[in-house]
Structure 1
């Protein structure tokens, strides 16, 4: 809706606005520099701070973002594979993908909400321990029990 309003305020060459007939309802597309709000001191300090971890250049962040998207697509592909051809390869792939997906997700929550060097180190150590125990538990379940695919199938069959 805002795009239609903004588009109608920019395109004024003999074309009437599609939804709003009055100019009072539209906002200007550009705001003068003096009229912009100045950022708050806390916001300016947060956005200008250096990253807290080593190797945090934009290329590493871009590669991490790409890896997260690839993992999400792999999880989407593993769902039908688990249904149509359950087996050890799919079970262990699901164990690795679930663990990595959870590790990255909880890591982002920790990055957002944990502050202070000691607290960050403790939280990251706890996260690595949790991820290791999760992966080991899923692998143990796959090796000594029915596996993830058949366990979900057994849950659905009840």
Structure 2
């Protein structure tokens, strides 16, 4: 399932947005952690300029990708999609991947720092990654298949991601 993920600053979680039957993007899930395949980092420049000019925050940057796993948000009233919960549960395999991912390339976005997502150590722009692990309140890691251990459970999770249709 193709999704967009952004930091929900008000609820301190991740909002997962996916298209409905009419191809309108709507928040359909809140999560504390996500795994995405074929991740692309998107910044809408117009929204960024609004933040810079007014100081008022808005949703203008997100990571798009194919959802592999989602962990439900620990907020008072999370939006929880049955589709996400049933098809993309947070399994032990996802924990293994997450443990490895935190050793990989960390990236971030701050409209006052740069007009793009960037690697936190080098400030180099990052536009895409084979995989992304994102957890609230805003830790993001990019990695590739070579960064993961050759464990059967991890390979099963990656194969499941590869079998999803590309949007």
Q: Give the shorter-chain TM-score range.
A: under 0.3
Under a length normalisation based on structure 2, what TM-score does the superposition of the two structures give? Answer: 0.21
More strand by share: 2
**Structure ranking higher in helix proportion:** 1
Structure showing greater Rg: 1
